[in-house]
């Protein structure tokens, strides 16, 4: 594989980067990682699909399942500076901290962390059937009226399409993706992520698009 990840300090600060061409070019995937949570260490779980990214920062551990577009704080690890991370092959992260010793924790999916935090207020439904052919129906429920955004991403974290952007009423909603990107070009058959942002919360799921 030509895909690799790292975190490094550059003139704009500590950032997270990804390459898809064996290091010829690097893309910044720091996403919405808090500005004060400077990343020092990184590990990638390549056994999950999409890959699960973990970064150790000045203020604890963060994870992403959508290529760095969004980062969720992992509550299993204390809010301390982390300078080294390793996966032990048994679903555990081994964490080396500054002044708080070493930790081993069974980490949950960061999607699961986000869902546990939101309770039942925000509900993004699974695509059915999955795999699916266009048009793909995506349903979600909002507890309260307000601004909402529903977007499609590929596994590299690139936005493919924006389906909803604006104020929505409370209740159940359904939109259909025609399988085309923002330029109207048919998307290739692959795994895609769909993310709902509303009520200060983000929730992400995935599905397979067939051609």
Q: Where are the domains of the chain?
A: 4-116, 119-210
Q: Give the full edge-to-edge strand order of the sheet including 102-106.
A: 82-87, 92-97, 102-106
Structure tokens at 159: 């936005």
Please determine whether the domains at 4-116 and 119-210 fall in the same fold group of CATH. Answer: no
pLDDT confidence tier of residue 111, bands split at 50, 70 and 90? very low
- Output the pTM of the full model: 0.54
pLDDT at res. 48: 67
**What percent of the chain has pLDDT above 70?**
87
Residue 64 DSSP label: E
**Phi (first) and psi of residue 129, to 5 degrees:** -75, 165
Which of 18-32, 176-190, 197-211 is predicted with the least confidence, judged by mean pLDDT? 197-211
Options 2.60.40.1230, 2.40.10.10, 3.40.50.2300, 2.120.10.30; CATH for 4-116 is 2.120.10.30
CB 30 within 8 A of CB 68: yes
CB 195 within 8 A of CB 173: no
Average pLDDT over residues 117-138: 76
Residue 53's Cβ-count burial label (10 Å; 0-12, 13-18, 19+) is buried
Q: Quote the mean pLDDT of the chain.
A: 84
pLDDT at res. 112: 45
- Is the pLDDT at 59 greater than 60? The verdict is yes
**Phi (first) and psi of residue 109, to 5 degrees:** -55, 135
Is the domain covering 119-210 a CATH 2.60.40.1930 domain? yes
Spell 100-133 as b/e; 16+ CB within 10 A means b: eeebebebbebbebbbeebeeebbbeebeeeebe
């Amino acid at each position: 594989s030509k895909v690799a990840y790292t975190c490094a300090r550059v003139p704009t600060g500590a950032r997270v980067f990804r390459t898809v061409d064996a290091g010829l070019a690097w893309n910044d995937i720091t996403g919405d990682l808090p500005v004060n949570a400077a990343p020092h260490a990184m590990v990638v779980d390549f056994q999950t699909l999409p890959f699960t990214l973990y970064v150790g920062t000045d203020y604890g551990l963060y994870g992403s399942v959508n290529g760095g577009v969004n980062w969720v704080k992992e509550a299993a690890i204390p809010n301390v500076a982390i300078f080294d991370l390793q996966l032990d092959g048994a679903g555990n992260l081994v964490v080396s901290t500054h002044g708080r010793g070493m930790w081993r924790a069974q980490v949950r999916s960061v999607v699961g962390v986000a869902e546990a935090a939101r309770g039942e207020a925000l509900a993004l439904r699974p695509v059915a059937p999955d795999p699916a052919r266009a048009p793909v129906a995506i349903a979600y429920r909002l507890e309260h009226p307000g601004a909402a955004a529903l977007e499609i991403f590929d596994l590299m974290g690139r936005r493919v399409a924006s389906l909803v952007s604006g104020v929505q009423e409370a209740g159940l909603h359904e939109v259909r993706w025609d399988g085309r990107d923002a330029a109207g070009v048919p998307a290739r058959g692959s795994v895609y992520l769909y993310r709902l942002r509303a009520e200060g919360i983000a929730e992400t799921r995935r599905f397979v698009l067939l051609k």
